[in-house]
Amino acid sequence: MVGIAAWGVYAPRLRLSRKAVTTANAWVAPNLRAKAKGERAMANWDEDALTMAVEAARDALGPGDDRSAIDALYFASTTAPFVDRQNAGIVAAALTLEKSISSADITGSQRCGLAALGQALAAVMGGAAQRALVATGEHRRARAASPQELDFGDGATAFVVSAEAGAAEFLGRGSVTDDFVDHFRGADAEFDYGWEERWIRDEGIVKLVPPAIRGALEDAGLMASDITHFCFPSTFSGMAASLAKTVGIAPEAVRDNLALTLGEAGCAHGPLMLAHALEEAKAGDVILVAQFGQGAEALVFRVTDAATNARPARGVTGALLDRRVEENYLKFLTFNGLIEWDKGMRAEKDNKTALTTLYRNQDMILGLVGGRCRETGVVQFPRTRISVAPNNPAVDTQEPYRFAERRASVLSYSADFLTFSMSPPNHYGMIVFEGGGRIMMDITDVEQGEVDSGLPVKMVFRIKDVDEKRGFVRYFWKAAPDRAAMAAQTAIAAE
- Examine the domain organization and report whether 329 and 360 are in the same domain: no
Q: What is the pLDDT of residue 265?
A: 98
pLDDT for the residue 63: 86
For residues 233 and 91, membership in a common domain is answered with yes
Q: Is 267 helix (H, G, I), strand (E, B) or coil?
A: helix
Q: Does 34 share its domain with 152?
A: yes
- Are 266 and 351 in the same domain? no
Structural domain contains residue 102? yes
What torsion, rounded to 10 degrees, do the Cα atoms 457, 462, 468, 472 define? 140
Classify residue 54: in a domain, yes or no. yes
Local confidence band at 485 (pLDDT 50, 70, 90 cut-offs)? confident
Band the pLDDT of 64: cuts 50, 70, 90: confident
- pLDDT digits over 250-301, tens only? 999 999 999 999 999 999 999 999 999 999 999 999 999 999 999 999 999 9
pLDDT given at position 276: 98
Closest CA to 173 of 214, 123, 129: 214
* DSSP type of residue 201: I
Q: Is 319 helix (H, G, I), strand (E, B) or coil?
A: helix
Q: Check if the beta carbon of residue 139 is closer than 8 Å to that of residue 48.
A: yes
Q: Express each pLDDT in 345-399 by its tens digit.
A: 888 888 899 999 999 999 999 999 999 999 999 999 999 999 998 888 999 999 9
Whether 278 maps to a domain, the answer reads yes
- Domain limit, last residue, from 285, 311, 335: 335
Domain shared by 441 and 489, yes or no: yes
Q: Are residues 172 and 29 in the same domain?
A: yes
- Average pLDDT of 92-96? 97
Confidence category of residue 491, pLDDT binned at 50, 70, 90: confident
416-to-200, 347, 425, 456 alpha-carbon distances in Å? 49, 14, 5, 20
Alpha-carbon distance of 385 to 367, in angstroms, equals 19
Same domain, 59 and 159: yes
- Say if residue 40 is in the same domain as residue 82: yes
Contact 174, 219 (CB under 8 A): yes
The structural domain count of the chain equals 2
The parent domain of residue 447 ranges over 345-368+403-494
Give a yes or no: residue 456 inside a domain.
yes
Tell me: cis bond preceding 312? Omega within 30 of 0 counts. Answer: no
Alpha carbons 235 and 269: distance in angstroms, whole number: 11
What pLDDT, on the 0 to 100 scale, is given for residue 417? 93
Q: Are residues 188 and 280 in the same domain?
A: yes
- Identify the burial level of 184 via C-beta atoms within 10 angstroms of its C-beta, where 0-12 means exposed, 13-18 middle and 19 or more buried: exposed
From 313, 335, 357, the end of a domain falls on: 335
Per-residue model confidence as pLDDT tens digits over 324-346: 999 999 999 999 999 999 888 88
Report whether pLDDT(229) > 90.
Answer: yes
Given a cut of 90, is residue 1 above it in pLDDT? no
List pLDDT tens digits, range 171-199: 999 999 999 999 999 998 999 999 999 99
The 3-class SS string of 107-158 reads CCCCCHHHHHHHHHHHHHHCCCCCEEEEEEEECCCCCCCCHHHHHECCEEEE
Task: Provide Rg for the chain, Cα atoms.
Answer: 23
Q: How confident is the model at residue 490 (pLDDT cuts 50, 70, 90)?
A: confident
Q: Is residue 135 assigned to a domain?
A: yes
pLDDT confidence band for 65 (50 / 70 / 90)? confident
CATH number at residue 236: 3.40.47.10
Shared domain for 198 and 272, answered yes or no, is: yes
CA distance 129 to 116: 14
Instruction: Express as a percent the part of the chain with pLDDT over 90.
Output: 92
The answer, yes or no, to whether residue 488 has pLDDT greater than 90, is no
pLDDT band for 320, please (50, 70, 90 cuts).
very high
Whether pLDDT at 30 is above 90? yes
CB distance 142 to 103 below 8 Å: no
Does residue 457 belong to any structural domain of this protein?
yes
| Domain-located, residue 106 | yes
Average pLDDT estimate for 62-84? 94
- Domain boundary residue, one of 335, 353, 387: 335
For the chain, give the mean pLDDT. 96
154 in the same domain as 264: yes
Same domain, 183 and 277: yes
Query: Based on the number of CB atoms within 10 Å of its own CB, is 394 exposed (0-12), middle (13-18) or buried (19 or more)?
Result: middle
- Per DSSP (E only), the strands in 77-118 are 102-106
In a domain, 477, yes or no: yes
